[in-house]
Amino acid sequence: MIGKISYLAFIKDINMKKLTVLALSLTLLGFGSAQAHAQAKNTKAKTTKTAKTPAKKAAPKAKAPAVSEAAPTVEQLTAGVSTPQSPKMRSEITTTIINNNAADLLRSPVKGLPTPAVSVSDVENVPTVHTPANKAGTILLDTTLMDEFIAVVSPNARHYPPSFPNATAEYLSTQNVKHLADWIEPYASAPDASFDVVLRAAKLNGIARNLNVGAEYSVRASNHMQKALRLNPKHPEANFLLGMMISEAGGFNEGKKYLEKAASLGYTEAEQSLAQSDLLTDNKQGALNRLRQLQAQHPNNTQIAEQLRIIEEGGYYIWRSNDKTPLNIKPVSQE
């Protein structure tokens, strides 16, 4: 009961400056959990009754983590560094190793030692991605492995609740996203941070929130999503990310504004999230109509067809996946 009162109070007065408090409060009050989603069907029926309940026993307000008033700039963070920085993830060899005392047995056989036979299979060339770290574009970050990870894990953890083919994939994803979110944080928090860096931080912290890494990641996700919108108010994915996070935390009406804006900018996934919101607010027919219209526009999109099947069979979470294809996620380097 206390949790519902606090939630309703936040939703009533919410604005852009209060979204950080909302994200933290929803997390601490349980609205980012399966329990909150299980209650979503009866949201309308319960709103009138809970609003009349005395609030004298309201839970104490949680304090957001302190934020430094003088966050270092990107230039200060990279002072004395001449090459693009990148997160160390899997002990990859990123520079050529030269040892003047070593012998190349392939070119210069050594008497008494057999010449090695070498064959390489499954060669994959991943283009290097250099992302501007600051607004001026004078400092670059190597986000190659970060972008690869986000692309691989997003279908399983971009939405709440996450869905993985096995426990190992979920564990490794949690380990990696925490490492990456912590690594990019000082760059994204810098006053001169570029939009591209802030958007990546928003994605990573949003995934970390869904994987229950910690309440601070929910706050970070909200902060970075708002910052991304300040830098680029009409960016489709930035609007989608904020709307998705708010609505999946239970703030359906507030999140809908951002999702509708993203949808108006042509972001298909925003329409799917609006259908999920319809479903969780007891508007099953609205969800079906929305997805059927979307399917007519994208007849080859198998995900939309699967989401329609889930709803027609009585399901409530359209982002659940039965795909058991293994994910190529490796442990974070412990060095």
- What is the tens place of the pLDDT at every residue in 81-126? 878 888 887 655 556 677 777 777 777 777 888 877 777 777 777 7
Pick the range with the lowest mean pLDDT from 21-25, 47-51, 167-171, 282-286: 47-51
Which of 145, 153, 152 minimizes the C-alpha distance to 93?
Answer: 145
Q: Domain map of the chain by residue range?
A: 143-335
Q: How far apart are CA 216 and CA 103, in angstroms?
A: 51
Homologous superfamily in CATH for domain 143-335: Tetratricopeptide repeat domain (1.25.40.10)
Residue 165 is given by DSSP the state S
Cis status, amide bond into 161, omega within 30 of 0: yes
pLDDT at 271 over 90: yes
Averaged pLDDT for residues 243-262 = 97
pTM: 0.73
Which of 205, 178, 208 minimizes the C-alpha distance to 189?
Answer: 205
- Report residue 266 CA to chain centroid gap: 20
Averaged pLDDT for residues 228-243 = 98
With 0-12 / 13-18 / 19 or more C-beta atoms within 10 angstroms meaning exposed / middle / buried, residue 286 is middle
Residues in the chain: 335
- Report residue 307 CA to chain centroid gap: 21
Percent of the chain clearing pLDDT 90 (strictly above): 58
Most trustworthy range by pLDDT among 7-21, 82-96, 116-130, 256-270:
256-270
| Residue with more model confidence, 67 or 289 | 289
Which of 219, 312, 249 minimizes the C-alpha distance to 43?
Answer: 249
Averaged pLDDT for residues 217-233 = 98
Q: Is 132 helix (H, G, I), strand (E, B) or coil?
A: strand
Residues 6 or more apart whose CB falls under 8 angstroms from that of 144 comprise 86, 126, 127, 128, 129
Task: Determine the residue type at 272.
Answer: Q
Task: Quote the Cα angle for 159-17-260, to 5°.
Answer: 45
Quick one: tokens of 119? 């064959």
pLDDT level of residue 135 (50, 70, 90 thresholds) = very high
Averaged pLDDT for residues 302-316 = 95
How far is residue 334 from each of residues 88, 163, 277, measured CA to CA in Å? 9, 26, 40
Terminal Cα-to-Cα distance of the chain (whole angstroms): 47
